[in-house]
Structure formats: C-alpha cells, structure tokens
Structure 1
C-alpha cells in the first residue's frame, strides 16, 4: 500500500498549523507536492537557520503568521476561508523550555488548541480535523513497557502534561461541538530528520556541535526513545487524516512509532552515529540529576497497522543515516528544498 494517497490530497484545502517549524515545514513541502492547497498558521520561525526559510516554504503555500494564543487573531485568520482538512501541529515542543516557561507552554499547547477548535466550529466544509500531540502524553513510570492508546494520560514535566491536557481538550470539543466532523489525535514518536535546528533537540545539538568543532553534551546517553524519521511520522499523520475523512470507524487516537522488534538506538548511540557521519568530536556526558525527562519511552504502534494499514518503513539506524546525509549535503551547498523533495520522492517509492 502506498504511504499516502495522492488523489485524496490533490485539490484539498488544508489548514496546517505550525508550518514554520521543522516538522511543519516538511509537511507543507510534501502536501504542496501532493497538490493540496495549503494555508499555514504559525508564529515566525524562532531560530536561525530554519528549514522554513532555507526551503522557501512561504513560496509554496499561503503563509500567515498568527499567534494561536490570541483567539481574535485565530478567528480573523480563518474567517472567510473554507477548509477541508485541518492538521494542527503548532506547539511549544521542547521539554526543557516547558520547565523554564510552564505557563507559556500551557498557553500555547492547551489554550492554543482550544482557540483553534473554537474558530473551526464556524467551518462548514470540514471533512476531518487531526491534532498532533506526542508520545509523551502517557503517565510514564519508566517501566519500559510500550504504551498503547488506552493507557492513562499524564505528564511529569509541563510539556508532557500540556500535551496530555490537549488530548482531553480535543476529546471534549469533538464530543460537544463536532458530532458530524471526525476529530482525532496522533501521538508520534521522537521525530528526527534534516532541517531541525531547534534548541535542546538532540539531532540539532549534534549538528551544531559538529559544525562548531565542539563535542555535543549529553545528559542521558543511556535513555531510549522511539526514534522515527520525519517522513514516516508525517505519512502516518496523513494516512490517519485520510481515514478520518473517509471511514467513520477510524480510531480517534493513534500512536505512530517504529515497527515492533526493530533495532533500538539509545541517545548515546544516536549521537555516536551522528558524530561519525558528520566528522564531529566524540560526545561528552554531563549528568543532569534534576532532569524530569523519562529514561525509557516506547509506544506500541499496532493500532496504526491494524486499523489504518500503516507501518513505519524506515528503521532507526537508517533514519539517522538519512538525517545526517541531509545535513552533510546541505552544509556542502546543496539546496534544502531539493534535498527534502529527493527524500520525499524516495520515501514514496518504498514498498
């Protein structure tokens, strides 16, 4: 089965929030390639460089800079513009940033989602709404068990808690106001890929350190995460949105992560692979005893396979290799957009 259905997306009016971020920029590029009419809502990029600028995303879609914390601005941005599919990716996505600014994180992730859903109530053409949350929505006791969609929600840090709260907000709006429009959530694993330059993200830290001739500092090299290439994750999101719009029996919350039984890669192993690919210095361990980050995290993506026929195509070592190849070639002068389109085309051709 194809990763996504081009005929579904061709001509679809898609509202994509968070289009200026790493994952949102990849989504905008892919959706425009599929023939969708994409409108992006987000704050301007908060770092330089940014994939949004490097790949010229604003030239491929309709881009609107809007703060989702401002309900009036959200309502005005949507007014008079009908949409078929909504992909809500805008968020404050960094755990350490949430510890530094918990109120801002809750305002963006929880109230930003509520403001968007409130504005969408006036849309008459909606076929599906999909809100992207996180694999960190589950109450994690570091037992190492892979979480399934029916597990309890929770969160030790403000980011995780804000995403768990977002799940509840989405459910409440869905049941109260969107009875005729399917509204779902997607819980993705730790996403890696070319073009992520965000603060306090492992791959971005590895790239910055390698380019600066410095060792990357790791707080928890032994920690494990469900690493997933950005194209695998986005393909899952797109497949779920397709299913929500066409099949009333589609689950309303779905995990997306690596295939069961695939090779696990720890933080330290990922850093080693990255350093080797980029020719950087060996990483250095500096423990952070006050960290709230979970030592182990795994999600069970069985439901995506059984309900949607979707399964990740790229295992963790290959995801790292594709990611580092993107950065190496981009640093060598190759065009960021061309690199993204090349990897998207390659992914679409996978069995």
Structure 2
C-alpha cells in the first residue's frame, strides 16, 4: 500500500515510516517540519505540506493515489494547551477537518488516527479500558476526543473506515539508533533523564513522593515506539474487516513508578543522576495504566518490548549520538 503519513517527520511518525517500509509498503511523509525533523525522513519521500493549508493538502491528495492515511500530526503539550487553547483547536481540530475534507474529495477512505490516553481524564479504575468514561482535563485531550467524534461521524456519513489508537507513554527508539525522540521543549521523563545524562543542562526532578504507590511516586505505562508502529499497521490491515469506527488502547498493561524509571536509566548509563524530589504537580493522577486486552484480541497485537530497561537502552543508544 501507499500510505500518507501525516506528521511522518516526528518521533512516532518516523518510526512508523521505517516499519511500513520494512513491511513492503510505501510511506509518503506529509509534514510542515514545524516540530518534525527533515533528517528523520529516511524511508519514503517528503512532501513539505501543511495540513493547515486546505489548498496544499488537497493538491497533495489529488496528485498521488493513496490507499490510506495515518495521522500523527498534532500540537501535544498539555501545559501549552491550557495557556493557548486556540492554538490547539486550530492545529488539531481545524487542520484535521482540512485533511478529512481532502480525503473525502479524492476518495481516500481509510484512516488510522493517533489519539491519546488524555481523552480519559482522571482515572476511575486501576486498568483503563476503552469503556472508561472520557472526561479530558485539558484542551489537548479535548481536541483529541473531538477528532475521534468527528471520525465517528465521517464513518457514518461518508463511508470512511477509521481507527483511533489511544496510547499512553510512548518511549524508546529503534534499535538501529538511526531515529529517536527529540522534542523542543522536551517534556517526557525518559528522554529528559537521558538528555541530562548525555550532558544537557536540564532540571529534572520527581514531582511528589507521597502518592499511594509502592514507592510514593506516580505510576505510568510505557510502550515502545516500535510496538506502537506494529499496532498501527495491524489496525490498518484489519480496518476493512471492522464495522464502524473503532477505538483501541495501546499500553504494556503494567506500570512503572517514576523512581523505577530513574533507577532503570541510572542502571543503563552506569551512574547516579542525583534526581531530587519536588512538590506534587497539579493534575497528576497517581497511576495511569492501560488495558490493551481489546487490541490483543481484535488486532492480534502484543507488545514485544515489555522490559523497562530494554526500552531505556534503546533510547540511550539514540541519545548518545543523536542525528538531529
């Protein structure tokens, strides 16, 4: 298949392109490079197209025949979404409308959408499954939930086939070391710790150690980026067999505390980092862990990277010699 990977120069999108290419498909990257990296586009061609420009995305979809679209592009910083919500409604919702309009006009009906566990809000269960209520706590999560609802409506009205994959904490890097995670600013725990280990002057701290968990720090579910890519391809391959709009959680189903993550990083790099404990951060739930039973049963997907140390090692390989 020829697949348009929107946001394909970003962290997850670049890994998706490599995975697609290795499995015999042709990725075409659509990215405005506002946060993506030209050097990450190593598998498939790059169209430097902004989906915020309706004419540009219409021209791209009209000039090349695509079998499907994978949509990773989004503004994704929770704090920024609170401070500047209109940027998020524009970047995430309005731009997705442009993409869906162009897809409809040019007869591209298959879409795999990168969603997020942020659509759930405050967890009401130890394991979050797809039946958990969706009550996003911030504009970022709300925009992703609105897009899911748009997709459901497009499936009903236009005959689209669409899947939303809600994943938790993407982590790690391809074992080749050719691509990895690089954001500015970096907000994710593992790359912040590794960048500090590699010499960046980052103030990394533990936000609270008085939670009701095994060591007092928050618990999160980490899923390797290549396992995410595998799930996206499986979702695409299963799309035509599934009725209506579908949603799947993606996670390892087992959480790690912040202290366990710090310890894993220190074990991999071979020295202590001296991470200090600070006050709790407002809005941090004590635990966010996914139930991925449905993805396992329906998509036949099972994460291969289940060991936290192995996930960290793959990321450290990248951070020691980042290519961008």
What TM-score bracket applies, with the shorter chain setting the length? Answer: 0.7 to 0.9
Aligned to 1:275: 266
| SS of 1:75 mapped into structure 2 | helix
Q: Assess, with a 3 A threshold, how the Cα gap between structure 1 residues 288 and 220 changes in structure 2: closer, same or farther.
A: closer
Please list every run of 5 or more consecutive structure 2 residues that lacks an aligned counterpart in the other structure: 174-179, 210-216
Please report how far the alpha carbon of residue 143 of structure 1 lies from its aligned counterpart in structure 2 after TM superposition.
Answer: 3.7
Matched, 1:133 2:115: yes
Aligned to 2:140: 159
1:94 to 74, 77, 84: 77
Q: Which structure 2 residues correspond to residues 2-17 of structure 1 after superposition, within 5 A?
A: 12-17=1-6
Please report how far the alpha carbon of residue 72 of structure 1 lies from its aligned counterpart in structure 2 after TM superposition.
Answer: 2.5
> Distance between the aligned counterparts of 2:15 and 2:25, measured in 1?
14
Please report how far the alpha carbon of residue 223 of structure 1 lies from its aligned counterpart in structure 2 after TM superposition.
Answer: 1.6
1:242 to 230, 237, 242: 237
Are the counterparts in 2 of residues 211 and 280 from structure 1 also a CA contact under 8 Å? no
Aligned to 1:103: 86
Q: Assess, with a 3 A threshold, how the Cα gap between structure 1 residues 206 and 98 changes in structure 2: closer, same or farther.
A: same
2:219 to 217, 221, 224: 224
Please report how far the alpha carbon of residue 173 of structure 1 lies from its aligned counterpart in structure 2 after TM superposition.
Answer: 1.7
> Distance between the aligned counterparts of 1:153 and 1:316, measured in 2?
29
Matched, 1:311 2:302: yes
Aligned to 1:34: 23
Matched pairs, number: 307
When the two chains are superposed, the root-mean-square deviation of aligned CA atoms in Å is: 2.4
Are the counterparts in 2 of residues 305 and 311 from structure 1 also a CA contact under 8 Å? yes
1:57-97 C-alpha deviation (Å, 9 max, x unpaired): 2x431212222223222222222221102111111122223
| SS of 2:198 mapped into structure 1 | helix
Aligned to 1:349: none
Q: Which structure 2 residues correspond to residues 122-201 of structure 1 after superposition, within 5 A?
A: 122-124=105-107, 126=108, 128-140=110-122, 142-177=123-158, 179=159, 181-194=160-173, 195-198=180-183, 199-201=186-188
Matched, 1:320 2:311: yes
Q: Assess, with a 3 A threshold, how the Cα gap between structure 1 residues 68 and 295 changes in structure 2: closer, same or farther.
A: farther
For normalisation by structure 1, the TM-score amounts to 0.79
Aligned to 2:49: 66
Aligned to 2:213: none
Matched, 1:257 2:245: no
Are the counterparts in 2 of residues 83 and 123 from structure 1 also a CA contact under 8 Å? no
For normalisation by structure 2, the TM-score amounts to 0.85
Are the counterparts in 2 of residues 134 and 189 from structure 1 also a CA contact under 8 Å? yes
1:3-24 C-alpha deviation (Å, 9 max, x unpaired): xxxxxxxxx1101011111111
Please list every run of 5 or more consecutive structure 1 residues that lacks an aligned counterpart in the other structure: 1-11, 338-351
Aligned to 2:278: 286
Higher strand content, 1 or 2 = 2
